[in-house]
Amino acid sequence: DGGITQSPKYLFRKEGQNVTLSCEQNLNHDAMYWYRQDPGQGLRLIYYSQIVNDFQKGDIAEGYSVSREKKESFPLTVTSAQKNPTAFYLCASRDRGGNEQFFGPGTRLTVL
């Protein structure tokens, strides 16, 4: 099955710890995106990458970092510098010539 997988589905973290969220796609898409979703806030863009080894900050990149070493993988690290990390995180991908962004199932991060 082609698609986007995110793991884990639920993640709990203690304050002050870094945590990495996984996003893998087997759609052979060039572009990948990370969004954060909070109630009533819509989807806010954290980082995006249009090709391997290149990525750009979105609107709320502070406290987050990413890497794009492989086309199929775009992991997001939530660092201890992110002041309010509890949220639902969504990864998406898009084919170079396509319009649609395909979303993964999301990871719900809770900071204890």
Nearer to another protein, 35 or 74 (CB): 35
Interaction between residue 1 and another protein (CB under 8 A): no
Binding mask 64-83 for another protein (x = CB under 8 A): --------------------
- Please, how many CA atoms are within 13 Å of residue 37, restricted to the half-sphere of its CB? 14
| Beta strands in 10-100, from DSSP E residues, in sequence order | 10-13, 19-25, 31-38, 42-51, 54-57, 64-66, 76-78, 87-94
| Interface with another protein in residues 19-58 (CB under 8 A) | 31, 33, 35, 40-45, 48, 50, 58
